[in-house]
Structure 1
Amino acid sequence: MKQFHYRGARSIRGFTLIELMVVVAIIGILVGIAVPAYQDSVRKSRRGQAKADLAEVAQAMERFYTVNNTYVGANLADIAMTQSPKVGDPRYTISLSGATTASTFMLRAQPVGGQANDKCGTLTLSNTGAKTPNAQTMPECWNLQ
């Protein structure tokens, strides 16, 4: 049986350790960039849900005011909105902030768990539509981006 050998042909032996380490370093850099960006995106989407839930509770408070001519006596448990999202693991706890008067209220969405790392922190919404954090100093917290 005759074996054929090609001149100048090199046998393939696999990857060198240096090539492997370069690939591992590149993957490490990509992961180091991608994971924080992903986590920030998740926190941003959860913040969006909390803003929508605050608006829904504010509407319920306005309906209560329309019927009773006062905000006093409004109960978030009756509205069935004490956390955001409504079902599943809470990312925000929704509550009334301070004393509710006949003509004023302040809603608060306090981040819990992993959402506590969100740069916007606690979100508030009043009966006048005033929001914190301030949309001028931290526009990413309330504006669509």
Structure 2
Amino acid sequence: MKKNTGFTLIELMITVAIVAILAAIAYPSYISYIVRSNRAAAEGYMLEVSGLQQRYLLDARAYAPDLTTLNTTAPANVAPNYAVATAPSPAASAPGFTVTATPINAQLTRDTACGTLTVDQAGTKTASGTGSKCW
């Protein structure tokens, strides 16, 4: 008697179903990881800009009006996902600055829990969204 080798259609369909279930679970988790990774990169750059602002204050006795004055641009892993800007506080108040990272492109639609991130001269970190673990 000859032994058949190969797969039956039922075995193949069960395998496809298992792969589909695993993909349905893994993909949202992967996207969540990517969003958190992009946010962490933006936060790191924002803290770097904050440090540059503090050094600029020591030299110029005022905060820089923009990133160009600080001689910095957003790194390649931040620029496609966040628009980062810095601005000094109004002259009427005490000297200060705010660094803002506004999500753009896919990050804008995927990271609605945190939204726009900000940090100021005192190190106060805020997020415009309702998420509790944004920083």
The TM-score, its normalising length taken from structure 2, stands at 0.79
Gaps of 5+ in 1: 1-8
Tell me the alpha carbon deviations over residues 62-116 of structure 1, each in whole angstroms, 9 at most, x when there is no partner: 1121222222x53211224343x34785221111268554512111011112222
C-alpha separation between the residues in 2 aligned to 1:67 and 1:60? 11
Unaligned segments of structure 2, at least 5 residues: none
**1:140 has 2:116 as partner:** no
Task: Work out which of the two has the higher radius of gyration on C-alpha atoms and give 1 or 2.
Answer: 1
Asked whether 1:20 is paired with 2:16, we answer: no
Counterpart position of 2:58? 66
Counterpart mapping for 1:1-145 below 5 A: 11-71=3-63, 73-83=64-74, 85-86=75-76, 90-96=80-86, 99-101=89-91, 103-116=95-108, 117-118=110-111, 119-133=113-127, 138-142=131-135
Encode CA deviations 1:8-42: one digit per residue, 9 max, x unaligned: x6622532222211111110011111112112112
Which whole-Å CA distance do the structure 2 matches of 1:95 and 1:88 have between them? 12
- Structure 1 runs (4+) greater than 6 angstroms displaced: none
- Aligned-pair identity in percent equals 35
The CA RMSD measured in Å over matched residues stands at 2.6
Separation in 1, partners of 2:122, 2:77: 28
Q: Which amino acid aligns with 1:123?
A: L
Give the AA of the match of 1:130.
T
Q: Distance in 2 between matches of 1:62 and 1:25?
A: 56
* Paired residues of 1:124 and 1:133 also in contact (CA < 8 A): yes
